[in-house]
Structure 1
Amino acid sequence: MALSVENNDRLQLLLLPGFMLDQTLWDDLREGLQQLGQLHFGDLGQDDSISAMAARVLQQAPPRFILIGFSMGGYVAQAIMQQAPERVIALALLNTSARQQNPREIAGNKVQLELAKQVPFKGLTSRALASSLHPDLAHDRVLLERLQAMALRNGKDVFIRQLSALRSDGYAELHKNQCPTLIVASSNDQLSSIAESQQMLEQIATAHMVLIENCGHMTPLEKPQQLLQILSDWISSIE
């Protein structure tokens, strides 16, 4: 049975982007997503902690919604589930994890932060951009320019705030999630591993997982129509 909506109101879809991305991440899916419900886009650029990002998103969100979090947005989505689980109808975690940052990652971020505070922001490095895509797309100028344009729109202050936001271990909290949950992983994701997605799957009794083949981290840009179909099928199946 499809999910029912009282008073013929449309479903509310709340979408959260990843690190140094913005709502244009969803442009290739936007028309299709609008057929599924009314779209809302969370702002993750104003705060320097995951919990504060989640609180801000909740302040601006509709009363109840289907929550779709990509990459860093997946961490924020998990924080939303801890802060206001009663408001989330269903949860989609795309190319993300519940793993905490290790000491090496934290140290690397500190180096980047110190450098970022001292020099003008010119966007993300070519290496960082390429690593977010399937190896076959690592030199795709159109995709790389789209990613860099989002980073430049966010700018230096957002870069510093988001890089300062530490990711804590969320696996222990996942079992509390009782709403329908979709986990999407990609076969060639260099930033969020399949193993991390499977570990989330094992912790959430209501979850199922879909693997997108021949795709890097940026599923909304690399495989938008396939991702749209996955989301559409999942939303239509929610009871």
Structure 2
Amino acid sequence: MASTAINNNDQRQLLLLPGFMLDQTLWDDMRDGLQQLGQLHFGDLGQDDSISAMATRVLQQAPPRFVLIGFSMGGYVAQAIMQQAPERVIALALLNTSARQQNPREIAGNKVQLELAKQVPFKGLTSRALASSLHPDLAHDRRLLDRLQAMALRNGKEVFIRQLSALRSDGYAELQKIQCPTLIVASSNDQLSSIAEAQQMLDQIPTAHMVTIENCGHMTPLEKPAELMQILADWIAGADQR
């Protein structure tokens, strides 16, 4: 059953999960290529305030079996999906993400942001936050910054509060249970998810292999869409042969 689903482009279902305060337009530069690989589905991560609840909602709306592609926070949700319904995932791609839990400093910082967000109108993400998500050479790229900010504004205040409230627990031990073909993508200049964290995931997942994209920040689907598209296409072609 799994072999049939992944070998036939017409039957293959791709489920894509975005990152924090992003939406399905994250994949716009790759959409044509992704559609060549199968039917696209986009998970909604804006309605819940925990990673496990996000995973449950995505599964409720997802096709019976699918190739799962999770970016950044979406990678955490993808890992939760693997815990809740591993039999439904044909293959797994974890892009610019991690399995580490938040440290006390990050949790405290989020609490400060949450309190402020509840008191003032939401005007999008800060310039500093947007710039830190990109390669330093692109930190002032108005086109990319505007795209990121537009996604944040479309999500709005309530989604910001819910997603910022979602605590990330340590998931490294659970990774050992993953049995489907798994791709890990890291970027050399990612300031938000490090190569070391990606390597830790690689060490834990028996079926994984890892690709590093050079001269790229955290927002790989926006910064290097053609390169990421080729990596995904090659990976799925390889998974077809297993």
Q: What TM-score comes out, normalization by structure 1 length? A: 0.98
Q: Which residue of 1 aligns with 2:197?
A: 196
Q: What do residues 155-210 of structure 1 show as CA deviations (whole Å, max 9, x unaligned)?
A: 00000000000000000100000000000000000000000000000000100000
Q: Which residue of 1 aligns with 2:28?
A: 27
Q: Indicate whether 1:4 and 2:4 are aligned.
A: yes
Amino acid aligned to 2:57: R
- Aligned partners of 2:19 and 2:72 also within 8 Å: yes
CA distance in 1, matches of 2:162, 2:41: 22
Q: What do residues 41-73 of structure 1 show as CA deviations (whole Å, max 9, x unaligned)?
A: 000000000000000000000000000000000
Amino acid aligned to 2:162: R
Q: Which residue of 1 aligns with 2:111?
A: 110
CA distance in 2, matches of 1:114, 1:166: 16
Counterparts in 2 of 1:31-110, with a 5 A limit? Answer: 31-110=32-111
CA distance in 1, matches of 2:21, 2:191: 17
Question: Which consecutive segments of 4 or more residues in structure 1 shift more than 4 A?
Answer: 6-9
Counterparts in 2 of 1:124-203, with a 5 A limit? Answer: 124-203=125-204
Change (3 A) 1:7 1:166: closer
1:10 positional shift: 1.9
CA distance in 2, matches of 1:196, 1:161: 25
1:5 positional shift: 3.2
CA distance in 2, matches of 1:200, 1:7: 26
Unaligned runs of at least 5 residues, structure 2: none
CA distance in 1, matches of 2:30, 2:158: 28
**Identity between Structure 1 and Structure 2 (%):** 89
CA distance in 1, matches of 2:81, 2:194: 22
CA distance in 1, matches of 2:37, 2:166: 32
Change (3 A) 1:35 1:163: same
Q: Secondary structure at the match of 2:235?
A: helix
- Aligned partners of 2:101 and 2:170 also within 8 Å: yes
Q: Secondary structure at the match of 1:216?
A: coil
Unaligned runs of at least 5 residues, structure 1: none
Q: Secondary structure at the match of 1:210?
A: strand
Q: Secondary structure at the match of 1:146?
A: helix
* Count of residue correspondences: 238
